[in-house]
Structure 1
Amino acid sequence: MAEGGSTDSGAPTGRAARELLTRADGLLAAARAVLADHERAVVAVRTALDPLLDALVRQDLAAIPVSRLKDVTEGRLRIGAVEQAGFTTVGQVYAASRYELRQIPGVGAQTADQTLAAAARIAHAVRDTVALRIDVDAPDDATTALVTAVYRLVAAGPDVRRAVDGARRLSDRLGPLLAAAAPARGRLRLVFARRRVRAGALQAVASVRDAVADARERELPLLFGQVSVDLLRDPESPVAAWVDFELRSAEYYSLLAELSGTGPDRDAAEGFLPSGMADRVRGLRLDDARLRVSLRGYQSFGARFALAQKRVILGDEMGLGKTVQAIAALAHLAARGETHFLVVCPASVLINWAREVRARSTLRALPVHGPERAAAFAEWRVSGGVALTTFDGLHTLEPGGVRPGMLVVDEAHYVKNPETRRSRAVAGWSRRTEHVLFLTGTPMENRVEEFRSLVRQLRPELAPAVTPTHGAAGSQAFRRAVAPAYLRRNQQDVLTELPALVQVDEWEEFSEADRAAYRAAVEAGHFMGMRRAAYARPESSAKLQRLRELVAEAAENGAKVVVFSYFREVLDTVREALGDGVFGPLTGSVEAGRRQRLIDGFADARGHAVLLSQIQAGGVGLNMQAASVVILCEPQLKPTTEHQAVARVHRMGQIRTVQVHRLLATESVDQRMLDILARKERLFDAYARRSDVAETTPDAVDVSDASLARRIVEEEQRRLGAG
């Protein structure tokens, strides 16, 4: 057998086989190292988490009367003697030992054991429901240890899941193969092996070669090395971990819910679907190889619902991540071989869609909009990816021979009237596509006719069965009636494990009028004019259009909204655009008593209401926790100004998750400000923001207004060739 040759089957032998097996040993060691590093990180989190959960469980058990032990045993347990001995709560029994209970007159070994078992069952049920809340304003040693432990997993990013899954599969595959291939590690050993053993070894070598080649093609060696390093990286300091927690708290809570096994009620998280349908959706394994984000449990279920039911409406309440669920469904289909996808949305969110697709997945986003629309669409037909177009542009696109793997229609209530051109265009593409996903935050149980119109495009056989009676019977009755085509979850049902703050950057593209106003301000070197330019032409303002949409969606969900801007002129424009029934604006010239009356009126208003405020006035000394939606009309020069304004809403007494929407214009002063401010030292920001001085005098820790303004004006003049 020649040194370094191969068999008839192509399996390497001799030196080539030994080198291959050595490489495979290294790959297997790297895979096992990733698994070990991940396990250590998980154990560290659980070690810090368990005492905190135990304390919450004990707190809840202390409020449960001892008589509830009889309910667990359906009345068979006699606890009279236990009660007479002074045990009044389940918590006291749970903390007791078998020996202590045996000392009670009339309590034998069997009764003691049954009593402790009943208390343990209640404790187990309580543990499944407790929700840990981490108070960033009152960190202690226990929560700091937990945040620091979770930091390693969060900082390592979404690649951790892919690395661990890949390492586990590779380890399961390579381990037995390398054992079977052992005779091929030595020439003489292989020569003198029995024929069956030799044949098995050579076959195993061939399989090892395939496994190594597949791992290299998927870039697993590089991934394993990077993730192992990331999982071993501690934060620079406890404060650094707390800073990261504030910036990405949703990811921390998502991981904690996953590791603790706690979370929202399953029926609510699954939209009260019938059990058989929910089982079928749960049974679908979501392929996340093309995703760059970890999904929360309810988000994973939403994506699987869209895939399993194929033609559906996802109607989750505003702020629950409908976009990322849609992207997860697209990524799953892409991992299974689909190449072309189409997203239709209002022009105001097209840029956001492009950014989200690129940030949350490895899919290629291709905006099909504007003067280059035809060329972009032709490129998509040839090369594939996620084509992003608007309702008004869709009718100009001819599919030709392309059948998208999925059609996603955002803000689907735009096509509720089947007679409009946009609805006919959507229907035409829908008929060509097996998977169709409509997204809308509008609660359909309040608009049964609108729902029936939408569902006719998706599942015409279901439409006749939907009547106004279903809506009148309440949301759960409506959802069960339309379950095959509709999934909706509310914040209060599924965000129990999350902190009460969700921040969204709403990127908009200037309209032509916006762009002209902006260029004029740049040419004049007018920094404040540049910041206001997006609202200079209200009739065509892209930001104002998005603001109207956000307010309308909040109105549909009965949520109160606070709109902040630095500029009185912008608030006047917003007030005129929204019409009657708007409170404010609160400005520095409004005396304190009237300010409080405005806020009280806003809080007392039934259901939806809008309050306008200058950010300087609303950010100091006023509590606005009646609101659950904050809209920032433009970014601020001082990050602390935004922080203080949002804190008026997101504070003690707030019972709903707060959504913060920051309206931003691409290729503008907004983007330049964020780029420059992002370069500031994050830790310095955090130390300063946590200090009393920073809270009372933001100027002390922020960059100079004048230098920042001058720098941005000069950059924009150079970019636009103006001034």
Structure 2
Amino acid sequence: TDAGPAAGRLSMLVAGRAARARALEAVGQLRAVLAEADRAGTAELLAQASVDLLRGPSDDIAAWVDFELRSAEYYGLLAEISGRAPDTAAAEGFLPEDITARVRAQRLDDSRRRVSLRGYQAFGARFALAQRRVILGDEMGLGKTIQAIAALAHLAAAGDTHFMVVCPASVLVNWTREIEARSTLRALPLHGPDRQDAFADWKVRGGVGVTTFDALRGFPVPDGDGTGMLVVDEAHCVKNPLALRSQAVAQWADSSARVLFMTGTPMENRVGEFRSLVRMLDGEVADRLDDRDGMAGPVAFRKAVAPVYLRRNQQDVLTELPALQLTDEWEELSASDEDAYRDAVRAGNFMAMRRAAYRDPGTSAKLCRLREIVREAGDNGQKTLVFSAFRDVLDTVRSALQGEPDRPAPVFGPLTGSVPPRQRQSVVDEFAGVAGPAVLLAQIQAAGVGLNIQAASVVVICEPQIKPTLEHQAVARAHRMGQVRPVRVHRLLTTGGVDERLVRMLERKTRLFDAYARRSEVAEATPDAVDVSDTELARRIVEEEQARLGLADALLPEPEPAAPDA
């Protein structure tokens, strides 16, 4: 009403001085309201609400499809209505009371956010804001990305303009998509040949820059607190303080007002590696971490790192997550498998020993079982995800599955480190878009991190991995929040050789990780006392297998390259 006279020059002319002043002030207020509505996407939200209100009741099939697409939202709403929320202490990571009280008191602004949060997710975002420089170590599948976006949206609503996300190249596209879909923030990829121009644009206009560890090294570090928050995804990639990427992240962390490290595997094998991450965040906490904390047990260790570390596990906070069935598929080596294995042992080639079971596809016992698993999944209309560390094994699997006479499902991939990140996400989208069974082949290092592949409910791991976290991350690509089907995991193993030795080693490493990275009452010894390097472990296994097979005079094993892709 006050703005009415501003509708035309004549009305403004005949209005009194006071009325004209009120009209101009009202017009300014209307401009501000409309600008905020435009930033928040209110017009699109109202249009969608209108469509939803005019739509008739859904039939059972449509309702089920919507549930599959948005199951996390359904479960979150049901938890609120029913009051069946997860255990509060578990949702808050079993932190000390003084820290939880400070986190609960932290306000969380949702005006720049387009997604609702689960209770534990809201706590994680508040933890990052209240503690300022932290590690979010939630288990895979609990929505660490959403929690980071919630913290960024809160800071943007408070006036911060510049943010930086550093992540592996494989998930850069996914991060950009998630920021744009889950918030009103501007996402700007700083990657590829035009990254310097994009960085200059980011410096001027702000937003969320999304870049890779290697690209970050080419950007100048902002002065002072020029970055409102630095988010580092898969932060265990910078645990080595001598690496150039680690030094670049440390420099950016020093110049950022807030820092959020995200990783489901912050400790992996040694407490010392975890300490190097903590040092980038809080030198005093890092200085207090020493071997005595490890020797005192995991409870003392978690207490020492509580100011900077929050971790929750799926079983504690996702009570609705479908069942996970893990099956070790033990197979006897065929005659040709045995010959290939002996040749690899004689040559002292650890990597060849691990994939010897696939050298002769026509008689491979593992490949025969893999075909059966894929065929059974196809008969049940299920999608299958096949992981291996080795590109040549994936090529063999692809040829075998495409050569099936009744080939029940299309085969996608393999996703490897040489596939550009945008193309990886495109392949995943095509795989998920198939109506009915399909198979996606993926190298475990390339696709075991960051990608969401809930379309698959059957997972096959072609050989045991040296690090248990690689297998955990791979399984979590399918068994995560949003999955509505039980997930079956089949690990293909052969008896009497390297697979048996690796499985025993994996069990020891997994118990160690559970004791220190999770909340636990066991494992009173420091991990440094029981762990050995991967190279030393490979050498030991080769020598023991040479002795077991009577090949003690064979070639001594050479140290293996870090990347089996080679």
Q: TM above 0.5, one fold?
A: yes
1:419 equivalent in alignment to 2:242: yes
Q: Which residue of 2 aligns with 1:91?
A: none
Q: 1:619 aligns with which of 373, 377, 381?
A: 377
Does structure 2 conserve the Cα–Cα contact (< 8 Å) formed by 1:315 and 1:439? yes
Give the alignment partner of residue 154 of structure 2, picking from 328, 332, 351.
332
2:213 aligned partner: 391
The alignment partner of 1:462 has SS state of helix
The 2-side partners of 1:432 and 1:420 are apart by: 19
Tell me the CA shift for residue 615 of structure 1. 7.0
Name the counterpart of 2:229: 406
In the alignment, structure 1 residue 374 sits paired with structure 2 residue 374: no
* Counterpart pick for 2:107 among 255, 278, 285: 285
Taking the aligned partners of 1:392 and 1:673, their CA distance within structure 2 comes to 24
Q: Structure 1 288/460 Cα, relative in aligned 2: closer, same or farther at 3 Å?
A: same
User: Distance between the aligned counterparts of 1:333 and 1:578, measured in 2?
Assistant: 48
Partner of 1:262: 84
Equivalent-residue separation in structure 1 for 2:257 and 2:33 (angstroms): 33
User: What is the match of residue 360 of structure 1?
Assistant: 182
CA 1:398–1:472 in 2, change beyond 3 Å: closer, same or farther?
Answer: same
- In the other structure, the counterpart of 1:705 is none
Say yes or no: does 1:437 pair with 2:437: no
Separation in structure 2 between the aligned mates of residue 265 and residue 589 of structure 1, nearest angstrom: 52
- Looking at structure 1, the residues matched to 242 and 366 of structure 2 have their Cα atoms a distance apart, in angstroms, of 47
Aligned equivalent of 2:135: 313
Question: Are the aligned partners of 2:278 and 2:286 in contact in 1 as well (CA < 8 Å)?
Answer: yes
Q: Provide the C-alpha distance between the structure 2 equivalents of 1:257 and 1:643, rounded to a whole number of angstroms.
A: 38
Q: Which has the higher contact order (CA 8 A, sep 6+)?
A: 2
- Check whether the contact 1:341–1:385 (CA below 8 A) recurs between aligned residues: yes
Q: Distance in 1 between matches of 2:64 and 2:206?
A: 42
Does the 8 Å contact 2:275/2:289 carry over to 1? Answer: yes
Whether the 8 Å CA contact 2:216–2:248 is kept in 1: the answer is: yes
The one-letter code matched in structure 1 to 2:105 is G
Number of positions where the alignment pairs a residue of Structure 1 with one of Structure 2: 390
Partner of residue 280 from structure 2, selected from 447, 452, 457? 457
Which residue, out of 115, 125, 143, partners 1:303? 125
Contact kept in structure 1, 2:170 and 2:424, CA below 8 Å: no
Take 2:85 and 2:107, find their aligned partners in 1: how far apart are those partners?
Answer: 20
Equivalent position SS for 1:371 = coil
The structural deviation recorded for 1:347 is 2.3
Which runs of structure 2 are paired with 1:18-37 in the superposition (5 Å)? Answer: none
Whole-Å Cα distance in 1 between the matches of residues 200 and 301 of structure 2?
42
Q: Describe the SS at the equivalent of 2:165.
A: strand
Write the distance in 2 (CA, Å) between the matches of 1:319 and 1:583.
33
Q: Is the 8 A contact 1:561 1:631 kept in 2?
A: no
Pair 1:492 & 2:315 matched: yes
Whole-Å Cα distance in 2 between the matches of residues 248 and 446 of structure 1?
Answer: 36
What's 1:237 paired with?
59
How far is the alpha carbon of 1:321 from its aligned partner? 1.7
- Secondary structure of the residue aligned to 1:388 is strand
Between Structure 1 and Structure 2, the one with more helix by share is: 1
Contact 1:586 1:618 in 2 (8 A): no
1:216 and 2:34 equivalent? yes
Distance 2:51 2:434 in 1: 25
Secondary structure, counterpart of 2:194 in structure 1: helix
* 1:502-513 → structure 2 map (5 Å cutoff): none
Superposed, 1:659-698 pairs within 5 Å as: 671=426, 674=429, 678=433
What is the Cα deviation at residue 203 of structure 1? 12
Counterpart CA distance in 1 for 2:57 and 2:303 is 47
- Give me the whole-angstrom Cα distance separating, in 2, the residues matched to 1:669 and 1:484: 37
Q: 1:403 to 1:426 in 2, by over 3 A?
A: same
Question: Which residue is 2:293 aligned to?
Answer: 470
1:189-228 equivalences in 2 (<5 Å): 214-219=32-37, 220=42, 223-224=45-46, 226-227=48-49
User: Structure 1 pair 313/223, CA: closer, same or farther in 2 (3 Å)?
Assistant: same
The answer to whether the 8 Å contact 1:344/1:394 transfers is yes
CA distance in 1, matches of 2:250, 2:178: 25
Whether the 8 Å CA contact 2:240–2:246 is kept in 1: the answer is yes
Q: Alpha-carbon deviation of 1:613?
A: 6.2
SS of 1:370's equivalent in the other structure is coil
Does the aligned pair in 2 maintain the 1:250–1:499 contact within 8 Å? no
Q: Structure 1 residue 302: deviation in Å? A: 0.9
Q: How far did residue 212 of structure 1 move?
A: 5.4
Q: 1:446 to 1:247 in 2, by over 3 A?
A: same
For structure 1, list consecutive stretches of 5 or more residues without a partner in the other structure. Answer: 5-10, 20-198, 502-558, 563-571, 599-611, 646-660, 682-688, 690-723
Change (3 A) 1:315 1:673: closer
**Structure 1 contact 479–487 (Cα < 8 Å) conserved:** no
Confirm or deny: 8 A CA contact 2:172 2:421 kept in the other structure. no
Cα 1:204–1:279 shift into 2, 3 Å: farther
Alignment gaps of 5+ in structure 2: 8-17, 330-339, 341-348, 389-393, 437-454, 456-566
Q: Deviations over 1:189-244 (max 9, x none)?
A: xxxxxxxxxx9x99999998777555433335764464254256445412110112
Contact 1:445–1:474 (Cα < 8 Å) also in 2: no
Q: Is the 8 A contact 1:619 1:644 kept in 2?
A: no
Q: Please give the alpha-carbon distance, in whole angstroms, between the structure 1 residues aligned to 2:350 and 2:177.
A: 28
Judge conservation of contact 2:231–2:261 (CA < 8 Å) in 1. Answer: yes
Given that 2:176 and 2:188 are in contact with CA atoms closer than 8 Å, whether structure 1 keeps it comes out as yes
SS in 2 for 1:461: helix
Give 1:369 shift: 2.1
SS in 2 for 1:305: helix
Bigger drift between 452-461 and 414-423 goes to 414-423
**Residue 462 of structure 1, CA deviation:** 0.8
1:702 is matched with none
Q: How far apart, in 2, do the equivalents of 1:351 and 1:578 lie?
A: 32
Normalization by structure 1: what TM-score? Answer: 0.46
Alpha-carbon distance in structure 2 between the residues aligned to 1:677 and 1:439: 26
SS of residue matched to 1:442: coil
Contact 2:166 2:211 in 1 (8 A): yes
Alpha carbons 1:586, 1:595 under 8 Å: kept: no
Question: Quick one: which amino acid aligns to residue 240 of structure 2?
Answer: N
Q: Determine if contact 2:170/2:421 at 8 Å carries over to the other structure.
A: no
> Hey, what's the Cα distance between the residues in 2 that align with 1:313 and 1:413?
10
Deviation at 1:582, TM superposition (A): 7.0
Shift in CA distance, 667/276, structure 1 to aligned 2, threshold 3 Å: closer
| Higher Cα radius of gyration | 1
Whole-angstrom CA distance in 2 between matches of 1:347 and 1:366: 14
Per-residue deviation, 1:406: 0.7
Instruction: Report the alpha carbon displacement of residue 578 of structure 1 after superposing the two structures with TM.
Output: 7.2
Q: Secondary structure at the match of 2:283?
A: coil
Q: Secondary structure at the match of 1:497?
A: coil
Q: Tell me how far 1:373 sits from its aligned partner.
A: 2.1
Separation (CA, whole Å) in 2 of partners of 1:242 and 1:355: 25
Shift of 1:489: 0.8
What is the deviation of 1:481?
2.2
